[in-house]
Amino acid sequence: MTSRAVCPGSFDPVTHGHLDIIARAAALFNEVVVVVLHNPSKQGFFSVAERIDLIEHAIAASPRAAAITVESYADRLLVDVCREVGAGVIVKGLRGPGDYSYETPMARMNAHMSGVETVFLAADPRLEHVSSSLIREIATHGADVTGMVPEVVREALLGKIGTLAPLE
Ligand code: PNS
């Protein structure tokens, strides 16, 4: 039985949805490696260093923080990252049919290539609508993202965007 799992993603930025999946993965496996995968030719909203910093701040409050580490990899196959970090399983959240359609071919391909299995956790229904892309979009237009992302991320969004005020 594998004891180390990988939680991969772009995390641009990390949301409460991601953190729920990371915490639940840490309850199932001895160690969790949060892997920030990025394409160096694509400009993110947050830099990779900022994304890692935000995840590390956000998980610091977790009772399982000691079991969770954060790594980043550029332009790599996830199965190669799993091999490098010694993880035998990938943990992903599924928010609905769209995620299922997108994620299952990748899960099957990863298992086909390497034998690494993907464990899907059903997303918390209260967070099903929360994605990094929607967070970026609504925050950019001035909406309040309290409750959807950790406070450290909300502040970083405000700092990045500059002039946002929470909605009354
Ligand atoms: O947060 P995201 O953008 O949904 O994360 C998607 C990610 C980065 C986890 C996914 O695109 C991925 O696994 N990329 C790594 C490249 C890879 O292994 N591709 C082949 C998949 S079968």
Ligand 1 centre to CA of 45 (Å) is 17
pLDDT > 70? residue 2:
no
pLDDT of residue 57: 98
Give me the residues paired with residue 117 across strands.
89
CA angle 112, 98, 145 (to 5 degrees): 120
Give the strand pairing for 68-74 and 31-38: parallel
Ligand 1 centre to CA of 139 (Å) is 24
Dump pLDDT digits (tens) for 140-154: 999 999 999 999 999
**Structural contact between residues 38 and 70, judged by C-beta atoms closer than 8 angstroms:** no
pLDDT of residue 168: 52
SS3 5: strand
pLDDT > 60? residue 1:
no
The torsion angle over the Cα atoms of residues 73, 74, 77 and 81, rounded to 10 degrees, is: -20
Can you read off the two tokens belonging to residue 23?
């915490």
Other beta carbons within 10 angstroms of residue 133's beta carbon come to 10
Does any ligand 1 atom lie closer than 6 A to the CB of residue 8? yes
Dump pLDDT digits (tens) for 87-119: 999 999 999 999 999 999 999 999 999 999 999
Q: How far apart are CA 76 and CA 81, in angstroms?
A: 7
SS3 51: helix
Dump pLDDT digits (tens) for 31-82: 999 999 999 899 999 999 999 999 999 999 899 999 999 999 999 999 999 9
More confident residue, 16 or 167: 16
Average pLDDT across the chain, whole number = 95
The torsion angle over the Cα atoms of residues 121, 126, 132 and 136, rounded to 10 degrees, is: 180
pLDDT of residue 164: 47
Q: Is 108 a catalytic residue?
A: no
Dump pLDDT digits (tens) for 11-39: 999 999 999 999 999 999 999 999 999 99
Does any ligand 1 atom lie closer than 6 A to the CB of residue 110? yes
